[in-house]
Amino acid sequence: MSARRIFARPARFAAIAPYVWMVLLFLVPFAFVLKISLSQTVIAQPPYEPVFDLTAGRASLEAAFAALSIDNFKLLVSDDLYVYAYVRSLTVAVTATALLLLIGYPIAYGMARLPTRWQAVAMVLVIVPFWTSFLIRIYAWINILQHDGLLNQILLALHLVSQPVVWLSTDSAMYIGIVYSYLPFMILPLYATLAKMEPALEEAASDLGAPPWQAFWLVTFPLSLPGIGAGVLLCFIPIVGEFVIPDLLAGSNSLMIGQTLWLEFFTNKDWPVASAAAIILLVVLLMPLLLYERLQRRQLEQGR
């Protein structure tokens, strides 16, 4: 038996503790979400009617299954408020992801063309804001965007506007916040693919007479598609369920699904409806999630 295989056996034992932890604190909780999404709302603590009681034997279990209700789901697909929230979440996520790609690509491209020594510095500079608190970064923008904030002061001083513009509680503020928060997630996978690319390819294209934009469009861009895929998924998925940014920066007249879930849970104390909303959100995200998982695994295998 090779040393490698002997090593593998105890390495497998290392999986036990994290495996048990993830099953208990990641997988099992989803069963609870599913269960509660199927139960009736009651005004009590906790505010739902237990669907089944495992200690009471088989008969009660069967009775419980008969009592399962999909009322919460019916409510969520029939009430305009929720349908609108899902549509809005997807619209916001698509728009924001497109903006991120548009802004992030030139930055990643510039990074990849830096001399090697500077590339590492640029990468650290892009990662550092990701380490500083998310909430703080949003708060920084509230400072800038508020009625008498810096942006309005500058605009007034330059005579670009005659009176302060309302920025807070608008969609523009929300998009600024989302782009600002997720930009590193878009730049890093793009940069990773662009930096690996052979510079000779683009040079060959220009030696053969292609103007720079054509060399880029016909050679660099198609080769960077895997990075685009990873960046888009990495941004799109969490943005759909985003709560803090729309809550602090966008207006309260149109909600995203993360906000309605939060509202149902904390304000209306309707746990079953909140759970049902979470299930639907998860189903909506399942396709991109699986896609992301496959991409991630392929990248890890390539890196090996």
Partner 1 sequence: MRKRSRLSRFNVASLALGLAFLYLPILILVIYSFNASRLVTVWGGWSLRWYHEFFGDRAMIEAAWMSLKVAASSASIATLLGTLAAVALSRGERFAGRTLFSGMLYAPLVMPEVITGLSLLLLFVALDAERGFWTVTMAHTTLTMCFVAVVVQSRLGSLDRSLEEAAMDLGCDPVRAFVAVTLPLIAPAIVAGWMLAFTLSLDDLVIASFTTGPGSATLPIRIYSEVRLGVKPEINAICTLVIGLIAVVIVIASLASKLSSAQGESAAPL
Of residues 90 through 149, those in contact with partner 1 by CB under 8 A are 103, 106-107, 109-111, 113-114, 122, 124-129, 131-144, 146, 148-149
Site for partner 1 contains 211 (CB under 8 A) = no
Distance, in Å, from the CA atom of 146 to the CA atom of 292, rounded to the nearest integer, reads 37
Is 181 within 8 Å of 134 (Cβ atoms)?
Answer: yes
* Nearer to partner 1 (CB atom), residue 133 or residue 162: 133
Q: What is the DSSP letter of 220?
A: I
Find the helix packing angle between 80-112 and 71-78, rounded to 10°.
70
Query: In this chain, which stretch among 10-18, 57-65, 74-82, 219-227 interacts with partner 1, using CB under 8 A?
Result: 10-18
A 10 A CB-CB count for 157 gives 8
Site for partner 1 contains 87 (CB under 8 A) = no
* Nearer to partner 1 (CB atom), residue 160 or residue 200: 200
Q: What are phi and psi of 164, to 5 degrees?
A: -55, 140
Size of the site for partner 1 (CB under 8 A): 101
Site for partner 1 contains 223 (CB under 8 A) = no
User: In the range 260-299, which residues lie near partner 1 by CB under 8 A?
Assistant: 261-262, 265-266, 271, 274-275, 278, 281-282, 285, 289, 292-293, 296-297
Find the helix packing angle between 116-131 and 80-112, rounded to 10°.
150
> What is the closest distance, in whole angstroms, from the C-beta atom of residue 292 to partner 1 in the complex?
6
User: In the range 166-195, which residues lie near partner 1 by CB under 8 A?
Assistant: 180, 183-184, 187
* Nearer to partner 1 (CB atom), residue 74 or residue 297: 297
* Nearer to partner 1 (CB atom), residue 222 or residue 266: 266
Residue pointed to by tokens 């054509």 = 214
Is 82 within 8 Å of 261 (Cβ atoms)?
Answer: no
Q: How far is CA 31 from the centre of its chain?
A: 23
Q: Could you give the string, one character per residue 45-84, with x where binding to partner 1 holds by CB under 8 A and - elsewhere?
A: -x--------------------------------------
Q: H helices within 16-70, ranges in order?
A: 16-22, 28-37, 57-67
Q: How far is CA 29 from the centre of its chain?
A: 20
